[in-house]
Structure 1
Amino acid sequence: MNYTTLGKSGLKVSELCLGTMGFGTEAGWGSEERESFEILDRFAESGGNFLDTANIYKLGTSEKIIGNYFQQESVDRDYFVLATKYSLKDNETNPNASGNNRKNLMRSVEGSLKRLKTDFIDLLYLHIWDDLTPIEEIMRGLDDLVSQGKVNYIAISDTPAWIVAKGNTYAELMGWSKFVALQVEYSLLARTPERDLIPMAKHFGLTLAPWAPLAGGALTGKYLAGDNGRIKEGSKRLNDRSIAITKEVVAIAEELGVSAANVALQWTRQQGIKTIPIVGATKVKQLQENLKVISLILSEENIQRLNAVSQIELGFPGEFFAEEGVKKNNFGGFYERIQK
Structure 2
Amino acid sequence: MSLDTYYTLGRSGLRVSRLALGTMTFGDNWGWGAAEDTARTMFDRYLAAGGNFVDTADLYTDGASEELLGRFMAETGTRDRVVLSTKFSYNAQPGNPNAGGNGRKHILRAVDGSLRRLRTDYIDLYLLHTWDRLTPAEEVVRTLDDLVRAGKIRYAGLSDVPAWYAARAQTYAEAHALTPLVNLQLEYSLIERHIEHEFVPMSAELGMGITAWSPLGMGLLSGKYKASEAGGSGEGRLAKISGAPGFDRFTERNWRVVAALEEVAAAMGRPMAQVALNWVATQPGVASVIVGATKLAQLDDNLAALSFEIPLELRARLDAASALEPTFPYWFFSDVQQSRLHGGVAVGNKPAGYAPPVYVPAQAQGGFKAD
TM-score, normalising length: structure 1:
0.96
The answer on 1:37 being equivalent to 2:44 is: no
Greater relative contact order (CA < 8 Å, ≥ 6 in sequence): 2
The 10-residue stretch of structure 1 (77-86 or 186-195) with the greater mean CA deviation from structure 2: 186-195
One-letter identity of the residue aligned with 2:299: L
Question: Is the 8 Å Cα contact of residues 200 and 284 (structure 2) preserved in structure 1?
Answer: no
Match of 1:100 in 2: 102
CA distance in 2, matches of 1:221, 1:87: 33
SS in 2 for 1:137: helix
Mapped contact 1:64–1:116 kept (Cα < 8 A): yes
After alignment, is 311-320 or 40-49 more displaced?
A: 311-320
Identity in percent: 43
- Tell me which residue corresponds to 1:64: 67
Q: Counterparts of 1:321 and 1:279 in 2: how far apart (Å)? A: 35
Contact 2:89 2:102 in 1 (8 A): yes
The answer for the alignment partner of 1:331 in structure 2 is 342
- Alignment CA distance shift 1:59-1:337 (3 Å): closer
Q: Return 109-118 or 93-102, whichever deviates more.
A: 93-102
1:253-268 mapped onto 2 (5 Å cutoff): 253-268=265-280
| 1:204–1:335 CA distance, 2 compared to 1 (3 A) | farther
The letter for the 2-side match of 1:208 is I
| Correspondences of 1:117-196 after superposition (within 5 Å) | 117-196=119-198
Structure 1: how far apart are the matches of 2:165 and 2:67?
32
* 2-structure distance, mates of 1:63, 1:102: 22
| Cross-structure match for 1:290 | 302
Residue 230 (str. 1) matches residue 237 (str. 2): yes
If each structure's helix is expressed as a fraction of its own residues, which one has the higher value? 1
Greater mean deviation of Cα atoms: 273-282 or 170-179 = 273-282
- The aligned counterpart of 2:282 is 270
SS in structure 2 of the partner of residue 182 of structure 1 = strand
Aligned residues of 1:214 and 1:264 also touching (Cα < 8 A): yes
- Residues 242 and 249 of structure 2 are in contact (CA less than 8 Å); yes or no, is this contact kept in structure 1? no
Secondary structure of 1:216 counterpart: coil
Q: How many Å apart are 1:270 and its aligned residue?
A: 2.3
Residues 314 and 123 of structure 1: CA distance in aligned 2, closer, same or farther (over 3 Å): farther
Give unpaired runs (5+ residues) of structure 1: none
| SS of equivalent residue, structure 2 residue 90 | coil
Greater Cα offset, 139-148 or 188-197: 188-197
* Distance (whole Å) between structure 2 residues aligned to residue 298 and residue 183 of structure 1: 24
Q: Does 1:54 align with 2:66?
A: no
The CA deviation at 1:317 is: 2.1
Q: Over the residues paired in the alignment, what is the CA RMSD in angstroms?
A: 1.5
Unaligned runs of 5+ residues in structure 2 are 228-232, 352-371
Q: Equivalent residue for 2:359?
A: none
Contact kept? 1:52, 1:83, Cα under 8 Å: yes
1:28 paired with 2:37, answer: no
d(CA) in 2 for partners of 1:75, 1:215: 34
Of residues 222, 236, 253, the one that matches 1:241 is 253
Native 8 Å contact 2:126 2:157 kept in 1: yes
1: CA distance between counterparts of 2:206 and 2:280? 19
- With the length of structure 2 as denominator, give the TM-score of the two structures: 0.88
CA-CA distance at 1:144 after TM superposition = 0.2
Kindly state the Cα deviation for residue 151 of structure 1 after the two structures are TM-superposed: 0.2
